[in-house]
A and B are shown apart, each in its own frame.
Chain A
Amino acid sequence: MSDPYRILGVPPGATDDEVKTAYRELAKKYHPDKYAGSPLADLAGEKMKEINEAYDTVMKERRSRGSSGGGYAGGSTYGYSQASNFSDVRSYVMSGRVADAEQILDGTPQERRDAEWYFLKATVLYKRGWLDEAYNDFSRACSMDPGNLEYRTAFNRVAGQRSGMYGGDDPNARRYGGCDGCDVCTSLCVANMCCNCCGNGYGC
């Protein structure tokens, strides 16, 4: 494995707190929930695993007694326990055969198109990058079955993206002064400068 400190983006002289903060930032960045439904989810999962391993290695080395644990679990957290009318579609989606999944969905007659159908259709559209229709179908699935947590989670994610939470412009957000840099970015810049002050050249 390559240098765990490099993966975490901190110099070897960093304090435990600095390592923890860096780890948390990275875990937030590559969190499986953020990438849920994305065609790149598996790559994010690998990255997360790498970060978890690096953090565990560093912490193990520092404490020299057992693993610190506490890492975020990698992998997607879909709960498919409930009975499904579209289990074949779900298994296609899971295995990345988006076109096959879509073919079955499109062949479903109008009267059998329930909340789950809209949810799955939206999932497929989302994977293909047809984000506008995906948003509408997630929203439809939610309104047809408001109690379903799976649909709600997916809808909240796309609604968050739409509002500019994960990058983009939020016209309703009022910023201070003349500078438009969103607060998160600005504080990250400041954090980066602090890193550079250490002089070890581990530019984040």
Chain B
Amino acid sequence: MFGYVRPQKFELLVREYDEYRGVYCSLCKELGKRYGLAARLSLNYDCTFYAVLMLSVRKDGTAAFTKGRCCVNPLKKCYYCRRGGNGDIFADACALTVILTYYKLLDNIHDSGAVKKFLYGAVYPLAARKHKKAAAGFPEFEGIVSGAMETQAKIEKSDKPGIDLCAHPTAEMISRILEVSAGKLNTGESTARIFRSMGYNLGRWIYLIDAADDLESDIASGSFNPFAVKFSLGKKSGADEISAAKKYANGVLNMSLSQIAEAADLLGLNSLGSITRNVILKGLPQMQKELLFKKEKTNVGPI
């Protein structure tokens, strides 16, 4: 579920790249400060995008950056986002990272085999402790995410659920998260509405690309996958059946993407908006192309 929402690096301007890294590094630093060193390991691109999006709709001036050193490798120089007024955005992004990572870990423990179960189980107590702290400080986020996980589990147990129904809990989750965050930023009613629609389709996109990406492994392990259900794919299905399902998935993803782009066009974005637009118009389609149609995934490494 993590790592799908990211910019297309070679289409970023150098300024934009530095700013993106700046937000990334700031989030890492804040995670360490708020939830301890180990929490830094849960840093991901999706929550970085959340921070970029929130920073790019701020009306009161744009984010300022300052030079510093990497907190993990002091030999490396990097940029940090100045805190002035952005502290709340990073606090929200950190809480989201910790809460989402916890539920992802729970899901992994539930889904994987004995060896991996043991490994995930080993980090569980730590993640649970951090999660408790984040959940206490941000009960709204916790409520949204835990609710979505419950609904998701129920839907996956039902008889032959459709693609839209399967994607609904994640879609609604991101939608609510963005709407709540817009409310905190006081950006006005229309931004909240745009975020609601954009979040719904972004969540949908994330759920569906994850499902399409995991299609083969889910079929092999017999795990639930909405595309396998729709096309009745099983262990005996041929490669052409799977690639037909992926092509179909691409069409469904394109539809969500066009809605995300429409919503983003309506947002009043400041100078960080070009990164937001890069993620939506280039990063996400690139991810679809890499994951659905290429045998070797060349552009999904670290940014």
A: which residues have CB within 8 A of B?
29-30, 34-35, 38-40, 43-44, 47, 125, 129-133, 135, 158, 161-171, 180-181, 185, 203
Contacts and interface: CB of A to CB of B under 8 A. Distances in A.
Contact of B255 (A29, A35, A162): A162
B259 A131 contact: yes
A39 B258 contact: no
Majority-rule SS of A interface residues: loop
What size tier do the contact residues of chain B reach? 35 or more
Nearest to B200: A129
Contact of A163 (B165, B254, B265, B266): B254
Contact of B262 (A125, A130, A165, A166): A166
B155 interface: no
Interface of B: 8, 11, 162-165, 168, 171, 190, 193-194, 197, 200-201, 204, 247, 250-263, 265-266, 271, 280-282, 284-286, 288-289, 292-293
A38 B286 contact: no
Given A40-B263, A163-B254, A133 B164 contact: yes
Given A39-B197, A44-B266, A185-B281, A135 B289 contact: no
Contact of B254 (A35, A164, A180, A185): A164
A40 B281 contact: no
Given A162-B251, A167-B280, A34 B262 contact: yes
A163 B255 CA distance: 8
A163 B257 CA distance: 11
B252 to A, nearest CB: 5
Given A133-B163, A167-B280, 18 more contacts: A30-B266, A38-B197, A40-B194, A40-B262, A43-B193, A47-B266, A129-B256, A130-B164, A130-B165, A131-B201, A133-B164, A135-B255, A161-B255, A164-B250, A166-B258, A166-B261, A168-B250, A180-B289
Contacts of A162: 251-252, 254-255
Contact of B197 (A29, A40, A181): A40
B146 to A, nearest CB: 22
B162 A35 contact: no
B258 A129 contact: no
Given A129-B171, A169-B289, A161 B163 contact: no
A129 B266 contact: no
A167 B285 contact: yes
Contacts of B253: 168-169
Going nearest first, the 8 A-B pairs with the smallest beta carbon separation are: A168-B254, A130-B164, A166-B258, A161-B258, A162-B251, A167-B261, A131-B255, A169-B285
Contact of A169 (B165, B263, B288): B288
A171 B293 contact: yes
Given A169-B250, A171-B250, A131 B256 contact: yes
B252 A131 contact: yes
Given A130-B164, A132-B163, A167-B280, A43 B255 contact: no
A169 B293 CA distance: 10
A130 B193 CA distance: 17
Nearest to B299: A180
A167 B257 contact: yes
A37 to B, nearest CB: 10
B282 to A, nearest CB: 7
B197 A161 contact: no
